[in-house]
Chains A and B, each alone.
Chain A
Amino acid sequence: MGASNFVEGVDLAFKVIFGISLFFLAGITTVMLWFVFRYSRKRHPVAEQIKDNNLLEITWITIPLILVLLMFYYGYAAFSPQRIVPKDAIPITVIGKMWVWTFEYEGGKQSPVLVVPLNKPVRLNLHSEDVIHSLFIPAFRIKEDVVPGKNNFMWFIAQQPGEYDVLCTVYCGLRHSYMETKTRVVSEAEYEAWLKALPEKSNEPEGLVILKKNACTGCHSIDGSKIVSVSFKGMFGKSEKVMTNGSERSITIDEEYIKSSLYDPDKDIVSGYQKGIMKTYKGLVSEQEMTKIIDYLKTIK
Chain B
Amino acid sequence: MTEEKTHHPEPSYLVDTGKYKGLMAWLTSTDHKRIGMMYMYAMMVFFVVGVLLGELMRLELFRPGQQFYGPQTYNGLFTIHGIIMIFTVVIPGLAAVFGNFSMPIMIGAKDVAFPRLNLFSFYLYILGAAIALSSQFMGNGPPDTGWTFYAPYSIQTHTNVVAAVFGAFVLGFSSILTGLNFIVTMHRMRAPGMTFFKMPLFPWSLYATAWIQVLATPIVGITLLMIVAERWLRIGFFDPSLGGDPVLYQHLFWIYSHPAVYIMILPAMGVITEIIPTFAQRKVFGYKAIAISSLAIALVGYFVWAHHMYTSGMSPTARWIFSLLTFLVAVPSAIKVFNWVTTMYKGSIDVKPPFLFALGFIFLFMIGGMTGLSLGALATNIHVHDTAYVVAHFHYIVFGGVGFAFFAAIHYWYPKMYGRMYNFKRANWSFAFLFAGFNLLYFPQFIIGIMGMPRRYFDYLPQFTFGMQLSFFGGILLLIGIVLMLTNLFSKKGAKAPDNPWGGKTYEWTIPSPPPVENFEVMPEMGENEQPYDYK
Identify which of B169-177, B219-227, B457-465 touches chain A: B457-465
* Residues of chain A contacted by B319 (CB below 8 angstroms): 79
| CB-based contact A169/B346 at 8 Å | no
Say yes or no for A177: interface residue by CB 8 A criterion: yes
A40 to B387, CA, bound (A): 42
A168 to B536, CA, bound (A): 60
| CB-based contact A131/B156 at 8 Å | yes
| CB-based contact B383/A50 at 8 Å | no
A residues neighboring B (CB under 8 Å): 6, 9-10, 13-14, 17-18, 21, 24-25, 28-29, 31-32, 35-36, 39-41, 44-50, 52, 56-57, 60-61, 64-65, 68-69, 71-72, 74-80, 82-83, 130-132, 134, 136, 138-139, 141-145, 147-150, 152, 165, 167-178, 180, 228, 266, 274-277, 279
Q: Which residues in window 340-357 of B have CB below 8 A to A? A: 341-342, 344-351
| CB-based contact B311/A39 at 8 Å | no
Say yes or no for B435: interface residue by CB 8 A criterion: no
Q: Which residues in window 289-339 of B have CB below 8 A to A? A: 289, 311-313, 316, 319-320, 323-324, 327-328, 330-331, 334-335, 337-338
| CB-based contact B380/A10 at 8 Å | yes
* Residues of chain A contacted by B456 (CB below 8 angstroms): 171, 176-177
| CB-based contact A143/B373 at 8 Å | no
A-B contact pairs, 18 of them (CB 8 A): A13-B380, A17-B374, A40-B348, A46-B348, A49-B535, A60-B334, A60-B338, A64-B331, A64-B334, A71-B327, A77-B379, A130-B156, A142-B383, A144-B311, A144-B382, A147-B247, A148-B240, A174-B71
Say yes or no for B493: interface residue by CB 8 A criterion: no
B129-158 CB contact bits vs A (8 Å, 1 = yes)? 000000000001100111000101100111
A170 to B387, CA, bound (A): 9
Please name the 8 residue pairs, one residue from A and one from B, whose CB atoms are nearest each other, closest first: A75-B377, A138-B452, A149-B240, A78-B379, A79-B378, A276-B140, A276-B158, A21-B370
Say yes or no for B75: interface residue by CB 8 A criterion: yes
From B245, B345, B450, give the contact of A50 (CB < 8 A).
B345
Q: Which residues in window 265-304 of B have CB below 8 A to A? A: 280-283, 285-289
Given A49-B283, A64-B330, A177-B71, 4 additional A-B pairs, CB 8 A: A69-B327, A78-B380, A143-B386, A171-B75
Most buried by A among B373, B377, B382, B450: B377
Q: Which residue of B lies closest to A14 (CB)?
A: B380
User: Shortest distance in angstroms between B325's beta carbon and chain A's nearest beta carbon?
Assistant: 10
| CB-based contact B347/A47 at 8 Å | yes
| CB-based contact A35/B341 at 8 Å | yes
| CB-based contact A17/B380 at 8 Å | yes
Say yes or no for B451: interface residue by CB 8 A criterion: yes
A48 to B345, CA, bound (A): 9
Say yes or no for B529: interface residue by CB 8 A criterion: no
* Residues of chain A contacted by B159 (CB below 8 angstroms): 276
* Residues of chain B contacted by A180 (CB below 8 angstroms): 461
A169 to B346, CA, bound (A): 49
A279 to B239, CA, bound (A): 15
| CB-based contact B150/A171 at 8 Å | yes
Identify which of B5-13, B358-366, B408-416 touches chain A: B358-366
A46 to B536, CA, bound (A): 9
B residues neighboring A (CB under 8 Å): 70-72, 75, 140-141, 144-146, 150, 152-153, 156-159, 240-241, 245-247, 280-283, 285-289, 311-313, 316, 319-320, 323-324, 327-328, 330-331, 334-335, 337-338, 341-342, 344-351, 359, 362-363, 366-367, 370-371, 373-374, 376-383, 385-387, 450-452, 454-461, 535-536
| CB-based contact A170/B451 at 8 Å | no
From B71, B140, B245, B316, give the contact of A275 (CB < 8 A).
B140
* Residues of chain B contacted by A178 (CB below 8 angstroms): 459
Q: Which residue of A lies closest to B142 (CB)?
A: A276
Most buried by A among B72, B370, B378, B456: B378
Q: Which residue of A lies closest to B71 (CB)?
A: A174
| CB-based contact A177/B460 at 8 Å | yes
User: Shortest distance in angstroms between B307's beta carbon and chain A's nearest beta carbon?
Assistant: 11
Say yes or no: A31-B382 contact (C-beta < 8 A), given A25-B366, A47-B280: no
Q: Which residue of A lies closest to B70 (CB)?
A: A228
A45 to B349, CA, bound (A): 8
User: Shortest distance in angstroms between A98's beta carbon and chain B's nearest beta carbon?
Assistant: 9
User: Shortest distance in angstroms between B82's beta carbon and chain A's nearest beta carbon?
Assistant: 11
A180 to B156, CA, bound (A): 22
| CB-based contact A35/B461 at 8 Å | no
| CB-based contact B328/A141 at 8 Å | no
